[in-house]
Chain A
Amino acid sequence: NAGVTQTPKFQVLKTGQSMTLQCAQDMNHEYMSWYRQDPGMGLRLIHYSVGAGITDQGEVPNGYNVSRSTTEDFPLRLLSAAPSQTSVYFCASSYDRDQPQHFGDGTRLSIL
C-alpha cells in the first residue's frame, strides 16, 4: 500500500515552460486536492476533486489546471510556468471531505 505518490520529487523549469505534476493514490479515496507551500506560510489549496470527473478551484487556482479521469490519479498542470510558481507542491487524498487527508511527500519546483 503506497498511499499518495507524487512524481517528480524535484523539477527545475524555465519561465514559460509547461509541465504536469503527477499524483496517484491507491486507497480508493474519492477526495483529492493539490496544495502549494511557500516559506513561512501554511498550505494553500490550488484545486480539489470530490470524485472522478469533478474538479473545483481552491484559493490560488490561477496558472494551474487539473483533471480527474480516474479515482486514482489527479495530475496538476502548469500551463506557462512563472517564477511566482516556485514552491513545494503537495497532493492529498481522503475518503471524503470530513476525513483526514493523507499527503504525499511533495514536488519541489523551481522556475528560473
Chain B
Amino acid sequence: GESVGLHLPTLSVQEGDNSIINCAYSNSASDYFIWYKQESGKGPQFIIDIRSNMDKRQGQRVTVLLNKTVKHLSLQIAATQPGDSAVYFCAEKPGGYNKLIFGAGTRLAVHP
C-alpha cells in the first residue's frame, strides 16, 4: 500500500552541525513532496517542497534532495540551531490525487 516512512525516529545533533533527516516513500507515481516542521503545541509549518521533475532544491539553510531511483527524500539543515528542534514530517502526493500522505515524523534535538 501507499506509505511514507522515516529511517530515524529521533536525531540528536550538536548546535552548529549539519542535520540530515531521511524519508522513504513507496509510491513511484508520487509527483510532489513536502517537508514540514512541527513545534510542540503548534500546527505543521511548511519548510520546503520539491516536484518529481527535480532532484534538488535549496532554501534558506535547508536543502531537499529527491532520489526517485530508490524512492528516497532527505532534508538537510545547515548549521543547525536550537530553534530547529522540532518534529519533521515528510509528505508525498501521488500523481492525480488530491491528498498528501504523511510519514510518522522524526524528532530533531539540538544540543548546545
CB–CB A98/B93 < 8 A: yes
Number of interface residues of A (CB under 8 A): 26
Known contacts: A33-B99, A58-B99, A97-B98. The answer to whether A43 contacts B44 by CB under 8 A is yes
Interface centre among B36, B43, B91, B104 (most CB of A within 10 A): B43
CB–CB B98/A48 < 8 A: yes
- Among residues of B, the one whose C-beta sits closest to the C-beta of A103 is B43
- Does chain A have a CB within 8 A of B67? no
**A–B pairs, 10, beta carbons within 8 Å:** A33-B100, A43-B44, A43-B89, A43-B91, A45-B99, A45-B100, A48-B98, A90-B43, A103-B44, A106-B43
Give 1 or 0 for each of A78-112: 1 = CB within 8 Å of chain B CB.
00000000000010100001101111111000000
Number of A-B residue pairs having CB atoms within 8 Å of each other in the complex: 56
Which chain A residues lie closer than 8 Å to B42 at the CB level? 105-106
Known contacts: A100-B46, A103-B43, A104-B43. The answer to whether A41 contacts B98 by CB under 8 A is no
Which chain B residues lie closer than 8 Å to A41 at the CB level? 104
Which of chain B's residues 35-74 have a Cβ closer than 8 Å to chain A?
A: 36, 41-46, 49, 51
- Among residues of B, the one whose C-beta sits closest to the C-beta of A35 is B102
Report how far A103 CA is from B34 CA in the complex, Å.
13
Report how far A106 CA is from B41 CA in the complex, Å.
8
